[in-house]
Structure 1
């Protein structure tokens, strides 16, 4: 896997959901999956997304569900933002470098 890209979709009253691009897939290795989700979470925080205090429900918000677009995450869009995408480049060592891109 060389990268992951997804549109960040707002789910009113619940949070956000990632809608992955056609070429994006969930890594087969669990450690790679953890690193990718962590990279995404760090990028969301860096871009001003707010993670509210509602705990994650592990029965429906699995890591794989986050990446394949099935799980809604308890994050809120920053004020005044919309039409955002998450882009993650994964290097040869498997380390993701993720960033949020907004339509400007």
Structure 2
């Protein structure tokens, strides 16, 4: 059995300004194959979405771990991107431009 990281994206809700809030979530799955990992991860993601009242994006990405046991500093997820942007601007575009800031009552 191998370990896989599985990423799903959910529509978490809408804030008072009408902005959508999304959750990018990675879970660990133990499976014999990518096919089984996707199946288990999809089931887990659907249950998570249903139990929280979230919409789930249909595309799910799985990443096969290197085979070591889950230990301190174990890499759970790694994904490569390409862009003409510098590291600073890529980070800004992908993460900071859409950072969720909880509303204060």
TM over 0.5: no
TM-score norm. by structure 1 comes to 0.31
Q: Determine which structure has greater relative contact order: mean sequence separation of CA pairs < 8 Å that are 6+ residues apart, divided by chain length.
A: 1
Q: Which has the higher helix share?
A: 2
Which structure has the greater CA radius of gyration? 2
TM-score norm. by structure 2 comes to 0.30
